[in-house]
Structure 1
Amino acid sequence: MRINQRAESSNIRTKIKMDRLGMLVFLVLGTIFTLYPSADARMRALPLPRQLKECYVRAQNFTTVNYVGGLYCWYCETPVRSFIKGAPQPLKPQQYAYYRDLYSKVDPATRSGFRGKRQASRCLRKEYRMLTDEERFRFHGAVNALKADTTVEPNKYDALALFHTGVATFVAHGGPGFPGWHRIYLLLFEAALQEMDPTVCVPYWDSSMDTALEHPDQSYIWSNDFFGSWEGEVVAGPFANWQTPEGMGLRRSVGRDGQLFTRESIEAIMSRNTYEEILMPDQDPQYSLEFHHGGTHVFVGGDMERLDTAAFDVIFFLHHAFVDYIWEMFRDKMRNNDLNPEQYPTVGEVSDYHLASAPMGFGNITHAEGYLNALKDSYEYQPAPECSQLNPDCGSKYLWCNVTLARCIPIDPLDPPIVEVGPDPHPAHCPFTKPQSYQNSFCLNGVCDVSQWVWVPVKIVAQRPPEFNDYHSYPVTNGKVSTTDIYEPSSYIDTRRYIKTDKPKPRAYEHCENKDGVGKIFVSSNGVNYDGSYKESAIIDQRLATSIGVTYIAVKDPGVKGVTEVILRAHDQCGRICHTACKIPGSNPSRFEACSGVVEITPDYPRQYGQTYASATLDVYDYASNSDCPSFKTDEFFVTFYCDYRDHLPWVEKPVNTFPGAPPIVVRPTPIVRPASNAGQCRLSSECTINYPCMKAAPTSSPRQCSKEMDMKACMGNCQRYAVCIYGVYWPRKCQSGMSFDELKGRCVRGLCPAQAVTRPSGPFRPRPGTSWAQTHRPSAFGTGSYYGGLINRFGLGKR
Structure 2
Amino acid sequence: MAFMLQLIIVLYLGLPAEAVQSIDYPVEWKKCLREIRNEIPVDKEGGSLTVTTCLNQYLFSNGFKTWHSEPSSDYKTFSEEFCQVKPPDGEPIRKRKEYRMLSKDEKTRFHSALNKIWSNGTYDHIVRFHADSSAVPVAHGGPGFQPWHRIYLMRLEDELRKYEPDLTFPYWDCRVEAELYEEGLGPHWSKLWNNGYAGYGADIVTKGPFKDWQLRRRFGDGNLPNRKRVERLFNFTKEEVTSLPYGSTPFGLLERIHNSIHMWVGGDMVYISLAPKDPVFFLLHCFIDYLWESMRTYYKDKYGVNPAENFPNISTLSSSAQVYHNKSSPLPGFEPLTLLDGYSNQWTRDVYSYESSPMDKDCSECSDNDVRKNCIDICGRNLKCRNGKCVPKLLVPTFFDEFSTEHRPPTSRVRRDTTAEDHCHGGVCDFAEPSIQNDFMWNGDDDTNHFRWVPIKVLNRRPLHQKYNTYAVHDNHIDTSNDIFDPVLFPPLEQELPAGDPGTYDHCFVQSVQSYVVIRSDSLSAVSSPQIEKCPFSGKYAFDTEYAYLAVGNPQQGPVNVSFIAYDQCGRLCTPYCRQPDSQFKRCTGLFQLDGSYDGYGDNPSQVIAKQLYTTDGLHDLNDDNVFLVFDCDASMEYYFDRFL
Does TM-score exceed 0.5, indicating one fold?
yes
The 8 Å contact of residues 304 and 310 in structure 1, kept in 2 or not, is answered as: yes
Question: Does 2:543 correspond to 1:546?
Answer: yes
Identity among equivalent positions (%) equals 27
Residue from 60, 72, 84 that aligns with 2:50:
72
Question: Does 2:234 correspond to 1:270?
Answer: yes
The verdict on how the C-alpha distance between 1:604 and 1:490 changes in structure 2, with shifts beyond 3 A counting, is: same
Amino acid at match of 1:637: V
The verdict on how the C-alpha distance between 1:226 and 1:51 changes in structure 2, with shifts beyond 3 A counting, is: same
The verdict on how the C-alpha distance between 1:356 and 1:390 changes in structure 2, with shifts beyond 3 A counting, is: same
Amino acid at match of 1:271: N
Residue from 113, 120, 129 that aligns with 1:163:
129
SS of the residue aligned with 1:549?
strand
Stretches of structure 2 that go unaligned for 5 or more consecutive residues are 1-12, 411-430
Question: Does 2:345 correspond to 1:380?
Answer: no
The 8 Å contact of residues 268 and 287 in structure 1, kept in 2 or not, is answered as: no
Bigger mean CA offset, 130-139 vs 337-346: 337-346
Q: Deviations over 1:744-784 (max 9, x none)?
A: xxxxxxxxxxxxxxxxxxxxxxxxxxxxxxxxxxxxxxxxx
Residue from 645, 669, 673 that aligns with 2:635:
645
Following superposition, the deviation at residue 331 of structure 1 comes to 0.3
Aligned to 1:219: 190
The 8 Å contact of residues 78 and 125 in structure 2, kept in 1 or not, is answered as: no
Aligned to 2:79: 99
The verdict on how the C-alpha distance between 1:614 and 1:653 changes in structure 2, with shifts beyond 3 A counting, is: closer
Greater Rg by CA: 1
Aligned to 1:564: 560
Following superposition, the deviation at residue 360 of structure 1 comes to 2.1
Following superposition, the deviation at residue 498 of structure 1 comes to 2.3
SS of the residue aligned with 2:409?
coil
Bigger mean CA offset, 51-60 vs 178-187: 51-60
SS of the residue aligned with 1:252?
coil
Following superposition, the deviation at residue 120 of structure 1 comes to 4.5
Aligned to 2:427: none
SS of the residue aligned with 1:360?
coil
- Following the alignment from structure 1 to structure 2, what is the Cα–Cα distance between the partners of residues 183 and 286? 14
Q: How does 1:102-501 map to 2 (within 5 A)?
A: 102-104=82-84, 106-108=85-87, 119-149=90-120, 155-167=121-133, 168-213=135-180, 214-242=185-213, 249-253=214-218, 255-273=219-237, 282-283=247-248, 288-336=253-301, 337-343=303-309, 344-350=311-317, 351=321, 352-361=323-332, 362-376=334-348, 377-385=350-358, 386-391=361-366, 392=370, 393-395=375-377, 398-404=381-387, 406-410=389-393, 412=395, 414-416=397-399, 427-429=402-404, 431-433=407-409, 436=433, 437-474=435-472, 483-500=481-498
- Following the alignment from structure 1 to structure 2, what is the Cα–Cα distance between the partners of residues 211 and 256? 11
Q: How many residues align?
A: 582
Q: Deviations over 1:661-687 (max 9, x none)?
A: xxxxxxxxxxxxxxxxxxxxxxxxxxx
The verdict on how the C-alpha distance between 1:648 and 1:340 changes in structure 2, with shifts beyond 3 A counting, is: farther
Q: How does 1:21-100 map to 2 (within 5 A)?
A: 38-61=15-38, 62-82=40-60, 83-86=62-65, 91-100=71-80
Following superposition, the deviation at residue 281 of structure 1 comes to 5.6
SS of the residue aligned with 1:634?
coil
Aligned to 1:746: none
- Following the alignment from structure 1 to structure 2, what is the Cα–Cα distance between the partners of residues 498 and 74? 30
The verdict on how the C-alpha distance between 1:445 and 1:101 changes in structure 2, with shifts beyond 3 A counting, is: closer
- Following the alignment from structure 1 to structure 2, what is the Cα–Cα distance between the partners of residues 231 and 250? 11
Aligned to 2:413: none
Amino acid at match of 1:390: E
The verdict on how the C-alpha distance between 1:204 and 1:274 changes in structure 2, with shifts beyond 3 A counting, is: farther
Aligned to 2:603: 611
The 8 Å contact of residues 384 and 392 in structure 2, kept in 1 or not, is answered as: yes
The 8 Å contact of residues 68 and 575 in structure 1, kept in 2 or not, is answered as: yes
- Following the alignment from structure 2 to structure 1, what is the Cα–Cα distance between the partners of residues 312 and 92? 31
Amino acid at match of 1:616: V
The verdict on how the C-alpha distance between 1:140 and 1:367 changes in structure 2, with shifts beyond 3 A counting, is: same
Following superposition, the deviation at residue 626 of structure 1 comes to 5.0
The verdict on how the C-alpha distance between 1:556 and 1:93 changes in structure 2, with shifts beyond 3 A counting, is: closer
Residue from 524, 530, 537 that aligns with 2:526:
530
- Following the alignment from structure 2 to structure 1, what is the Cα–Cα distance between the partners of residues 480 and 382? 47
Q: Deviations over 1:286-336 (max 9, x none)?
A: 971011111221111111111100101111111100000000010001210
Q: Deviations over 1:233-290 (max 9, x none)?
A: 2221111111xxxxxx22111x232222221221111212459559976428997101
The verdict on how the C-alpha distance between 1:294 and 1:368 changes in structure 2, with shifts beyond 3 A counting, is: same
- Following the alignment from structure 1 to structure 2, what is the Cα–Cα distance between the partners of residues 610 and 330? 51
The 8 Å contact of residues 234 and 252 in structure 1, kept in 2 or not, is answered as: yes
Aligned to 1:597: 590
The 8 Å contact of residues 80 and 528 in structure 1, kept in 2 or not, is answered as: no
Bigger mean CA offset, 78-87 vs 451-460: 78-87
Q: Deviations over 1:37-62 (max 9, x none)?
A: 74444111111121211111112233
Aligned to 1:755: none
Amino acid at match of 1:582: C
Aligned to 2:578: 582
Q: Deviations over 1:541-568 (max 9, x none)?
A: 22111111111111001015x1011000
The 8 Å contact of residues 268 and 274 in structure 2, kept in 1 or not, is answered as: yes
- Following the alignment from structure 2 to structure 1, what is the Cα–Cα distance between the partners of residues 640 and 240? 26
The verdict on how the C-alpha distance between 1:406 and 1:251 changes in structure 2, with shifts beyond 3 A counting, is: same
SS of the residue aligned with 1:308?
coil
The verdict on how the C-alpha distance between 1:285 and 1:555 changes in structure 2, with shifts beyond 3 A counting, is: farther
Q: Deviations over 1:538-594 (max 9, x none)?
A: 11122111111111111001015x10110001000111111111112123xxx2110
- Following the alignment from structure 2 to structure 1, what is the Cα–Cα distance between the partners of residues 623 and 132? 41
Bigger mean CA offset, 92-101 vs 513-522: 92-101
The verdict on how the C-alpha distance between 1:481 and 1:224 changes in structure 2, with shifts beyond 3 A counting, is: closer
Query: TM-score scaled to structure 1, two decimals?
Result: 0.68
The verdict on how the C-alpha distance between 1:462 and 1:433 changes in structure 2, with shifts beyond 3 A counting, is: same
The 8 Å contact of residues 227 and 239 in structure 1, kept in 2 or not, is answered as: yes
Amino acid at match of 1:241: D
The verdict on how the C-alpha distance between 1:497 and 1:416 changes in structure 2, with shifts beyond 3 A counting, is: closer
- Following the alignment from structure 2 to structure 1, what is the Cα–Cα distance between the partners of residues 473 and 490? 12
The verdict on how the C-alpha distance between 1:510 and 1:119 changes in structure 2, with shifts beyond 3 A counting, is: farther
Following superposition, the deviation at residue 486 of structure 1 comes to 3.1
- Following the alignment from structure 1 to structure 2, what is the Cα–Cα distance between the partners of residues 415 and 404? 26
Bigger mean CA offset, 613-622 vs 535-544: 613-622
Following superposition, the deviation at residue 89 of structure 1 comes to 5.1
Aligned to 2:416: none
- Following the alignment from structure 2 to structure 1, what is the Cα–Cα distance between the partners of residues 109 and 485? 58
- Following the alignment from structure 1 to structure 2, what is the Cα–Cα distance between the partners of residues 57 and 582? 22
The 8 Å contact of residues 247 and 253 in structure 2, kept in 1 or not, is answered as: no
The verdict on how the C-alpha distance between 1:156 and 1:648 changes in structure 2, with shifts beyond 3 A counting, is: same
Relative contact order, higher structure (CA 8 A, sep 6+): 2
Amino acid at match of 1:125: R
What's the RMSD between the two structures over aligned residues? 2.8
Amino acid at match of 1:54: K
Query: TM-score scaled to structure 2, two decimals?
Result: 0.84
The verdict on how the C-alpha distance between 1:97 and 1:240 changes in structure 2, with shifts beyond 3 A counting, is: same
The verdict on how the C-alpha distance between 1:68 and 1:611 changes in structure 2, with shifts beyond 3 A counting, is: same
- Following the alignment from structure 1 to structure 2, what is the Cα–Cα distance between the partners of residues 280 and 642? 34
- Following the alignment from structure 2 to structure 1, what is the Cα–Cα distance between the partners of residues 139 and 105? 33
Amino acid at match of 2:472: Y
